[in-house]
Structure 1
Amino acid sequence: MIHKLSQKNLLSKKHTQRYRQCFALNRNVAGFNILKKELIYTLVSDKSDGAFIWDIDNNKYIDLTMGFGSILFGHNYTPIRKEIETQLAKSWSVGPISPLAGKLAEKITAITKTERVAFFNSGTEAVMVAVRIAKAVTKKKYVVFFKGAYHGTFDPLLTLKKNPQTNMAQESIPGITQSILNESYIFDYGSEESLNFIKKNKDHIAAVLVEPVQSRNPSFQPVSFLKELRSVTEQSDIALIFDEVITGFRIDIGGCQKLFNILADIVTYGKVIGGGLPIGIVAGKSKFLDVIDGGAWQYGDQSFPEVKSTFVAGTFCHHPLAMAASLKTLEILESSNGELLQEINLRTAYFCTRMNEFFKENYPKLSMVHFGSLFRFVTPGRYKELYSQLLLNGVYVWEGRNCFLSAAHTEEIITSLEDKIKLSCRQLAEQGIIKLKE
């Protein structure tokens, strides 16, 4: 396999080696294993369309990464591309605020049942601001989050370790020091222990940050826990923050808030809504968003911003191209009245069901888990070789292993995908890497 993949991805490997000295890219060392050193590289691609990408060796792949979940309609989707091209001809400069920003904010508040919206450049920035405004408004300093969640690269949330006695987050990554983590507590997601801790320490906790359904564990959907968490935080002047950067505008146009009928105080969005362009969104109650700009006031009277503001900023936060792509995304989603998302979600469910039946019958250690159109392979031990075999057979899954179907993944493409997965399993079994059920 190593030789075949090295030959197939020859130019990707040459590109990686050519620029390694000057281009520091963490993905080019992800999962490093000295025995698999020749397979440690990121695919280099300069062409994509629909459900497919092509690498610079001109190999075609069914794409299951889909821009880390940011591509919902398919690559190079004509309505989005045309909207970007139209806006590009008008203006793509920043400085004065694009007139599209206000329109987009108004539309988001209506769809998500929030009151105010602020724009940023990424999901990480959105989470960072959400935590900041929660602390500013509650005047408390501690944050609770949960093991297994992904909240971007904000320093106080970058650890999987905790002190077993205090539950305080502990440093585990070079550069993330303990002092940065001293205001963060981490618990197992869905645990009764976390609820008891929050109740006991309510006077000191500013926010509870949660991925309603964790992208790394999509089969765990603890709705009753979330409802209890909503009740506890609401009674304790604690901001409940939903991180819906991945699930927002994908599982439902109203995200997990609508699906589970739970309204958070602050919600972060990104990925899908940007139509493939960078965006981060903080939405929520005026009580929290007012701390960004002092709150609402009027011209022509004696009103003024009455809330003391914190500080947020960013050169490209309201980029006209991102605003245009986001407005078009929402227009498309609204025009289908939820049917588009439901169709993709059902297609994913049927696909995962069929594959799990195949795995159970033939390779019982393999399985799939999913939530909406997000899914993951469960690949213990040597079964992780599946990803390399899939790449060899024309299926691309990135190093983080979250997979997504899009509107461009037709039944015909999914049938081809299933065939490639089955072929990859048979080939791994023939190599003695995985075992066929006896």
Structure 2
Amino acid sequence: MSNTVKVQPDLKFVKELQAVGGDSLKKCYQCATCSVVCPLSPDDNPYPRKEMVWAQWGLKDRLVNDIDIWLCHNCGTCSDLCPRGAKPGDMLSALRNMAYRNLAPLPIIGKLMSSSAGMLPLAAVPALLYGIIWVIMAGKLGSALPTFEWNEAAHAWNPVADGIIVFGGLFPGDFTIDPIFILVFAFMLWGFYAGVRNMLKAFDGQPKTFIVGRKEEPCFCAALIDTVKYEILQHTQFNDCNDDTSDELDVKRAGGHKMLMFAFIALMVVTGVVASGHWGGWLFRTLGMHGLGDILSAIGHTPMPIYHPIKLLAFLGAGLGVYGLVALTKRRVNLDQAKQSSNWYDWYLITLIWTIFLTGIGAFIFRVMGVALLAYPVYYIHLIAVFMMLAYLPWSKLGHLVYRTVALSYAKKIGRIPMGADK
């Protein structure tokens, strides 16, 4: 006699899943079209049909520990061809949205991140922080919109009546920018560390995949390097999502993602050079090596002239970012809502990144034009947006940069998907 299996559906989980993007779940009648047409789904135990079954039955434990929700790149093919309009792609996206809320510690942040109402308290943290700094510095400098001139002997900016706009004069990097963002970065790393640990712990409980004729199982580090080389730098999974029937916006989606990624890499390099030059110069001067210290300080000195190589790299990063955002936003706006929907997580991320790039570009333009009345407020908004992106990253959709990378690497390690060179 076969063993009896008792299924205990979690109806609350089903309602939560519908609330974060899986609202068409009940339309599915298990025809398996989604698994057949998916260009990424493995032949053995494919997705997303099984996820649709589990979701309808309310099998939360199976779904939250399912590695396949991270292998989907949301191309929408399954949703486009679903005869019932059940939108399986949206359901997998909704599962990832739930994971962002619960993988990392401090689930209150994930809960606040899940709706527009929660944005006010989250945005209030950096807004109040930098607002207080602005008020204190305005009192110290004698103006809320100060201008400065460089004091070479003191290596500092002195406030003057007819000087230039210097964001580091009003928000000193040594005391307000760098220490705060170092703490924010550490907080983000802690969130990702705990989230990834929880993810891998859940994956370890899953059945392992064995491939006949496969070489010995790669170590996780090798799988991670392979994922970075192929899935991240080359965006092979995004490219594999497209076929001869894909429209222009879907084809440009991979390019948009790639350009936005390179934009962030370029801007990270810019930030790293400025920080290294500034603090490296300070360190060497403190050690008595004034010549080397002055050279490093000159490299990282801001504001930089327009022709400076690092400034040119910043321009390139801004251009790539805007190009990528235009491609992704255009596709998102033109989605057929009857087949594939956009949710709060999608629009929050796009809006936040647009805010970062537009305020960064706007602050530069207004600074060069000498319009302090606009330059400082725009820079203030830029600080808030960057703070929100970094501090809440493990709980936002952008967290897939880490979670999906880990999941793809683990899937390669156990043989769920092939290594990039074996495709």
TM-score using structure 2 length: 0.24
Q: Which one has the bigger helix percentage?
A: 2
Greater C-alpha radius of gyration: 2
Q: Which one has the bigger strand percentage?
A: 1
